[in-house]
Structure 1
Amino acid sequence: MLKFSKKLLYAIEAVTDIAYNSTGEPVQIREVTSRQGVPQRYLEQVMQRLVRAGILKGVRGPRGGYLLGRERARISVGDIARVVMDVAESSEAGLPPDAATGPIGRVVIRPLWGEFQEKILLMMDTVSIEELTTRAFRGGVPSESCDRITYSI
């Protein structure tokens, strides 16, 4: 079963932070960790996995950092979950090794667990990073990108 671990929650929070605070320039990981209170060394591993999956783009150099790998509306919470949690296609994903080992467990419970996992991921697929940034804006969360917007005529 899909676990809602700290790693998953931090990854969703980091991608949302990058989307919400990006001004077109890369967002540095230290900025994300400072705003969100996430340990940097913990988040670095997660960010690299998200880069490899194309959810984020890594930019090297002194002004480097992370950008979204595609549009906010095209990144779902389910996409992030699949990368971060290494969600297996197996119905046994996330079950303890000694769980549901009897005949009913093997034939009924383990497959049921797989169905639950699939339904949760499908629900997560319906929530985009765009929606999360909209929720942040409506909730009054301060944004670096809003602070840097200039209006000229």
Structure 2
Amino acid sequence: MLKFSKKLLYAIEAVVDIAYNSGGEPVQIREVTSRQGVPQRYLEQVMQRLVKAGILKGIRGPKGGYLLAKERSKISVGDIARVAMELGDEGNNGLPSDVATGPIGTAVIRPVWGEFQEEILVMMDKVSVEDLTNRAFRNGVPSEVYNRITYTI
């Protein structure tokens, strides 16, 4: 189940960074790690899974990087969370294996915790990458898109 792990937060941050900074051009992983302070070792595995899941598209070559595989409005935070859940040790409804193992824990607490996790995913499905990029813009987060625009007269 859902666990608010570093990989989950890094995955969301990376996808939003790419959406916010790509301007239609591939974004290299080192750019994301530089802007967001995310360790590259965590991000590489996450990015590969996001490509496999159809959230990102990997572009090879010297000017390669990552782009969104579909429109920002069509990717939810829940979509990203589900990919990140595949990467982590998310068994036991996100609870450590030594917690809630008695009869009440097994029959009541763990199933209820699983229901909580599902409700969180439903809420995450209501928030799109576009919603988060719009929030970044409103909050004045600088975007590389403006640095990539060239004017010719």
- Give yes or no for contact 1:91–1:110 (8 Å, CA) kept in 2: no
Tell me the amino acid that sits aligned with residue 22 of structure 1: S
Name the SS of the counterpart of 2:86 in structure 1.
coil
- For 2:59 and 2:91, how far apart are their aligned partners in 1? 37
Closer/same/farther in 2, CA of residues 91 and 14 from structure 1, 3 Å limit? closer
User: Greater CA deviation, 2-11 or 97-106?
Assistant: 97-106
- 2:40 equivalent to 1:40: yes
Q: Shift of residue 78 of structure 1?
A: 0.7
| Percentage of identical aligned residues | 78
Name the SS of the counterpart of 1:67 in structure 2.
strand
User: Which whole-Å deviations, capped at 9, do the CAs of 1:2-37 have from their partners, x for residues lacking one?
Assistant: 221111111111100000001211111111111111
Gapped runs of 5+ residues in structure 2? none
Closer/same/farther in 2, CA of residues 27 and 124 from structure 1, 3 Å limit? same
Closer/same/farther in 2, CA of residues 93 and 87 from structure 1, 3 Å limit? farther
- For 2:151 and 2:73, how far apart are their aligned partners in 1? 25
Q: Please, what is the CA RMSD of the aligned residues? A: 2.2
What is the number of equivalent residue pairs in this alignment?
A: 152
Partner of 2:14: 14
Partner of 1:112: 112
User: Which whole-Å deviations, capped at 9, do the CAs of 1:59-80 have from their partners, x for residues lacking one?
Assistant: 1111110000110001111110
Question: TM-score, normalising length from structure 1?
Answer: 0.90
Partner of 1:66: 66
Question: TM-score, normalising length from structure 2?
Answer: 0.90
Q: Shift of residue 146 of structure 1?
A: 2.9
Tell me the amino acid that sits aligned with residue 147 of structure 1: N
- For 1:6 and 1:68, how far apart are their aligned partners in 2? 21
4+ residue runs over 6 A deviation = none
- Give yes or no for contact 2:46–2:87 (8 Å, CA) kept in 1: no
- For 1:87 and 1:52, how far apart are their aligned partners in 2? 12
